[in-house]
Amino acid sequence: MNNFDFHNPTHILFGKGRIADLDARVPADAKVLILYGGGSAERTGVLAQVRAALTGRKLIEFGGIEPNPRFATALKAVELIRDNGITFLLAVGGGSVIDATKFIAAAVRHDGDPWEILTSQGAVVADAMPFGTVLTLPATGSEMNPGSVITNAEKGAKLAFLSPHCYPAFSILDPEVTYSLPPRQISNGVADAFVHVIEQYLTYPVAAPVQDGFAETLLRTLIDLGPKALATPQDYDTRAALMWTATQALNGLIGAGVPQDWSSHMIGHEITALNDTDHARTLAVVLPALMNDQREAKRAKLLQYARNVWDIREGSEEERIDAAIAATRGFFESLGIKTRLGDYAVGTPEIDIIVSALSDHGLTALGEHRSIAPSDARRILEAAL
């Protein structure tokens, strides 16, 4: 096991009816900005629950945060906060709303140009406003981690930052608020969480049986519950386990002390940047091709994955790896997610653009061995056509 630090101070309030606990969590004298995305938080009644729980506090609302949250939108919130003496932020939504809130919380307390927060990957963040979250979509894990991804449309850039100041003070996870999610968001969330686990697991062994076993638990749970969550949207047990799985998939625990990959994410981001394909769908396209391409570097872990996640015990090593990759692809397809670039209008000319973009963004040494160059990404993408 590699040396590591683990420190996750977010307070999780999990279960039915927990939005009412906002009253105890948000300071009584706080002036609160409630941040949300499109109309669903209003339509589903979540915002009404939030307002009811915060009765007596001064509330201002800021809606319209985009699915890939925009830098310019965040800056409008920063101005609103400064103009109104807001003292506490509450994100009500999924990963995009929470990511935007983290950036806003840091930007309000940052003296220089807020763009530096992103270009420094969070290094310049010395402080952030306190904020909590009410999660409505199990997927990104942003509710219990210090990371955020922001898109700057003018600059054509999608940049991430991390700061220990940007853990939510608390996150409320009520599985019932996910009942009304569209199937596409559920399937995307399951695939996103699945690949989050894979990025921290499918590398090479470092004698970390706790992290490996936890990761395998999360993968098996997603495989079991993903289709059930689509088939029976109002099944509390399924939605509850799914919600907790997605949180555990990216809260630092399974990634502590082990190598990490993240090349599927880096390549996938460029596909989204090109044609706005859903993030999770880009992962479902890249991952199977990448697993096959990197089978030598990942051999030991691919065999462990085949056995412990898919219960594949028969056949030669190559056959077991092939079967595990086919099972992975089949899992995404069973969620209604296509796994070929052609399904998303990406052909050979678009691959040229994606590969160039990786170079342009300095992403020239990806993966747990920093060995995947843009030329390797081209080979992987061509295999995904």
Q: Given the rule CB under 8 A, which residues bind its own copies?
A: 1-18, 207-210, 213-214, 216-218, 220-221, 224-225, 237, 240-241, 244-245, 248, 253, 256-257
The CB density around residue 303, as the number of other CB atoms within 10 Å, is 16
104 or 144: whose CB is closer to its own copies? 144
Between 46 and 241, name the residue whose CB sits nearer to its own copies: 241
Kindly give the pairing relationship between strand 11-14 and strand 58-62. Answer: unpaired
CA distance 127 to 124: 9
Min dist CB 232 to its own copies, Å, is: 13
For its own copies, the closer of residues 5 and 314 by Cβ is 5
Q: In the complex with its own copies, which residue's Cβ is closer, 69 or 168?
A: 168
Residue type, 279: H
Q: Is 262 left (phi over 0), alpha (psi -120 to 50) or beta?
A: left
Exposed / middle / buried, residue 220 (Cβ in 10 Å: 0-12, 13-18, 19+): middle
Q: Shortest gap between Cβ of 134 and its own copies (angstroms)?
A: 15
Q: How far is the CB of 53 from its own copies (least distance, A)?
A: 16
From the CB of 193, what's the least distance to its own copies, in Å? 11
Q: Which is nearer to its own copies, 9 or 342 (CB)?
A: 9
Nearer to its own copies, 115 or 236 (CB): 236
Residue whose CB is less far from its own copies, 5 or 154? 5
Tokens of 77: 């919130």
For the chain, the first-to-last Cα distance in angstroms comes to 37
Q: Which is nearer to its own copies, 67 or 257 (CB)?
A: 257
Q: Which of 68, 91, 179, 201 is nearest to 143 (CA)?
A: 91
The span from the CA of 265 to the CA of 188, in Å, is: 14
* DSSP string for residues in 152-205: ETTTTEEEEEE-GGGS-SEEEE-GGGGTT--HHHHHHHHHHHHHHHHHHHSS--
Best CA proximity match to 173, nearest among 47, 281, 36, 13: 13
Q: Are 222 and 169 in contact (CB under 8 A)?
A: no
CB of 197 to its own copies, least distance (A): 12
Instruction: Tell me how far, at minimum, the Cβ of 1 lies from its own copies, in Å.
Output: 5
65, burial (CB in 10 Å: exposed 0-12, middle 13-18, buried 19+): buried
- The C-alpha atoms of residue 324 and residue 322 are separated, in whole angstroms, by 5
Least Cα distance to 137 among 242, 248, 12 occurs for 242
| Smallest gap from residue 255 Cβ to its own copies (A) | 13
- The distance of closest approach from Cβ of residue 151 to its own copies in the complex, given in angstroms and rounded to an integer, is 31
CB of 312 vs its own copies, minimal distance in Å: 16
Q: 209 or 362, CB closer to its own copies?
A: 209
Nearer to its own copies, 24 or 72 (CB): 24
Compute the least distance from the CB of residue 272 to its own copies, in Å.
29
Helix 317-334 and helix 279-293, axial crossing angle in degrees, nearest 10:
170
Residue 35 and residue 65 in contact, taking contact as beta carbons nearer than 8 Å:
yes
113 vs 99, 110, 116, 328, CA distance in Å?
A: 19, 8, 6, 43
